[in-house]
Amino acid sequence: MTAAKIIIVLVVIFAGAFKVDVDNWTPFAPNGFKAILTGATVVFFAYVGFDAVANSAEESKKPQSDLPIGILGSLLICAGLYVGVCLVITGMVPYKLLGEDAPLAEAFKSKGMKYVSILISVGAVAGLTTTLLVGLYVQSRLYLGLGRDGLLPSIFAKVHPKRHTPVHSQVWVGFVAGILGGLFNVHTLSHILSVGSLTGYSVVAACVVTLRRKDKRSQVSSRWISAWCESVIYLIIVAGCSFAAGVLYRYSASFIFLILVAVIAIFACAALCLRHAYADPPGFSCPGVPIVPAVCIFFNIFLFAQLHYEAWIRFVILNVVAVGIYALYGQYHANPSSDETIVYH
């Protein structure tokens, strides 16, 4: 199914390339850089599939080599396909004439290539099918991990004795997905997914910084604040500055304020580098800690600030629900593993 989908996308790119009018690309960014950022924030969910590779590490035969190839390869392939499709569709038809419901199909119909529009419809069905399967697969594994850690009821950690799959987690994922799909439209769901993805990746980046710190076991008694808390404070400063910069840029504030918050974030990153030492584990791991994770947090939160305030409200609601689950259940049943049994990446 995935191979069929990729083949269809390639056919669309090569077939549409012969109908491209380069004059349609002038001006290349008619609404400016701010519109590009807003669009990137809304469609950020289009790149979230690569984390499915990381979540399937337990079922990989050679995770040390399979995961790097899967993560980097999927990102590069998807980025190339997205760029190709965008260039073709905007080159075939002026962007103002593109429809909102099925722009690809309508673009090819306008050029007399109805057979390609039919092929696009087939590819859309294949894409929906693979997306559903991947979502069911990945999300159920996340609930499985949370159940094993005691953050969710133990029923989510149960695996079928014969199929060796988390059946209860899969049923729950399907139930929740059906409810969300029935109550909300695509626009609302895309904003929710983008908010969750940007926040989740920022939290992961922050965890990389805190877990890779070498001096986490040797707390100096003379300090009035622990090294761990110090790292968290610096990361919060970076996140706060990035959100402030995003809001200031969105509402066209003076660049003096943008430079000010950027300088504060840079000083926080410098403090993370100079005041702590970080481990460099062998194999496939995040390079340039803590600079790369801090930059990741900055740009993720900056994009988060470009979303509509309704997305912020949904973000707050989702976090209240998550914190409530942890406060009422997770903190009393959590079963953290010892540091000696974990290899941090």
Q: What is the dihedral of CA 161, 163, 165, 166, to 10 degrees?
A: -50
Q: What is the pLDDT of residue 339?
A: 44
Q: Which residues contact 191 (CB under 8 A, 6 or more apart)?
A: 42, 307, 308, 310, 311, 314
Name the residue ranges covered by the structural domains of the chain. 2-183, 186-341
Q: Which residues contact 16 (CB under 8 A, 6 or more apart)?
A: 88, 89, 91, 92, 107, 108, 113, 116
pLDDT in tens, 63-90: 788 888 888 888 899 889 999 999 999 8
DSSP β-bridge partners for residue 213 = 278
Q: What is the pLDDT of residue 1?
A: 75
Query: In what helix (H) or strand (E) does residue 26 lie, and over which residues does it extend?
Result: none
- Alpha-carbon distance 177 to 173, whole Å? 6
* Interhelix angle 103-110/63-92, nearest 10 degrees: 40
> For tokens 């990989």, what's the residue?
60
Cβ 144 vs Cβ 165: under 8 Å: no
Task: Name the nearest CA neighbour of 301 among 198, 191, 150, 168.
Answer: 198
- Alpha-carbon distance 13 to 117, whole Å? 12
Low-confidence ranges of the chain (pLDDT < 70): 215-225, 336-345
Which phi and psi angles does 61 have, rounded to 5°? Answer: -70, -40
- Alpha-carbon distance 305 to 247, whole Å? 6
Cβ 132 vs Cβ 40: under 8 Å: no
Name the pTM for this structure: 0.80
> For tokens 């496939």, what's the residue?
284
- Alpha-carbon distance 130 to 3, whole Å? 10
Q: How long is the chain? A: 345
Q: What is the pLDDT of residue 61?
A: 79
Q: What is the pLDDT of residue 54?
A: 77
Q: What is the pLDDT of residue 29?
A: 84
- Alpha-carbon distance 262 to 157, whole Å? 43
Q: What is the pLDDT of residue 117?
A: 82
